[in-house]
Amino acid sequence: MANEALVKGFLAIPTLERFKTISIQTTDVDTAAEAIPGTAMTNRKAILIQNKHATACLYLGSAATVTAHADNTTTGGYQLGPKDAVFMTLDGSATLYAISDTTNTGVCTVEFS
């Protein structure tokens, strides 16, 4: 197979065995950006964010100026669709913001330290 490439490497995915503490919080996000979770875990190493709404989209960003991604601005957020989740390695010094395209969008955050 002349066109095949041999790739060697690994993907570092944290496992629960590496964490000592887990904190679970739920937040209702509306059409104004807010920090999620409200107060970050001090020694956080990673976070899992789940959009619990059946139809609403959630947009994540690194500033309180995050807007809906669909508006194509530089403040547009990362879109998290209905019932979707994302896992990030993110320490406690970073603040994550969310905004929804509707009111009362349930968001579950699970922080790991």
Q: Can you give the pLDDT at residue 24?
A: 95
37-93 pLDDT per residue, tens: 998 998 999 999 999 999 999 999 988 988 876 666 667 788 999 999 999 988 889
User: What are the structural domain ranges in the chain?
Assistant: 21-112
pLDDT at 106 over 80: yes
| CATH number of this structure's domain 21-112 | 2.60.120.770
Q: Structure pTM?
A: 0.78
Which residues on adjacent β-strands are paired with residue 107? 27, 51
84-102 pLDDT per residue, tens: 999 998 888 999 999 999 9
Spatial contact of 101 and 50, defined as CB atoms under 8 Å apart? no
Q: Can you give the pLDDT at residue 3?
A: 43
**Burial class of residue 2, CB neighbours in 10 A (0-12, 13-18, 19+):** exposed
13-24 pLDDT per residue, tens: 555 557 889 999
Q: Can you give the pLDDT at residue 8?
A: 47
